Amino acid sequence: MKKKDFALSAFGMRVREIRQEREWTIAKLASALALEPYEIAQVESGLSKVKKEYLTKLFNCLELDTGDRAQLVKLAYGRNNKEARAFYREREEIHVRSARAVENFHKWGPAAFSRLREYVNDEEDVSVANG
């Protein structure tokens, strides 16, 4: 079994986040980079690396600042470095927590979340009054 390349996966996750922050579709990004949409999807999924010549185009078309550029270069060519592992695990944990929240919402229903929200608000009111 092939070992997971955390750097490649983290790079793809970050590209997807940036693209979504800018409200770009995969098709729009693919068009701007003169690639096919499936190629962007493979990069975002961590299945393939983006070629160096497209990395500069990616930076320019998404108007990335120096910090984002440095992070993406480090993730793209870091070869499973600690930063890539930490980034990947953090994003995976967020995904798992989101999935659990949706599952619980469907399991318990919206009424349970309304009661929980009321309870949390009541607790905050008590702590402010006692504070």
In order of their start, the domains of the chain are 6-92 (1.10.260.40)
Record the pTM. Answer: 0.60
- What percentage of the chain has pLDDT greater than the value 70? 74
Half-sphere exposure at residue 34, Cβ-oriented, CA atoms within 13 angstroms: 6
Per residue in 54-89, pLDDT (tens digit) is 888 888 888 988 888 888 887 777 655 676 667 777
The CA distances from residue 28 to 18, 37, 44, 61, 128, in Å, are 13, 8, 14, 10, 48
Site of tokens 């480090």: 74
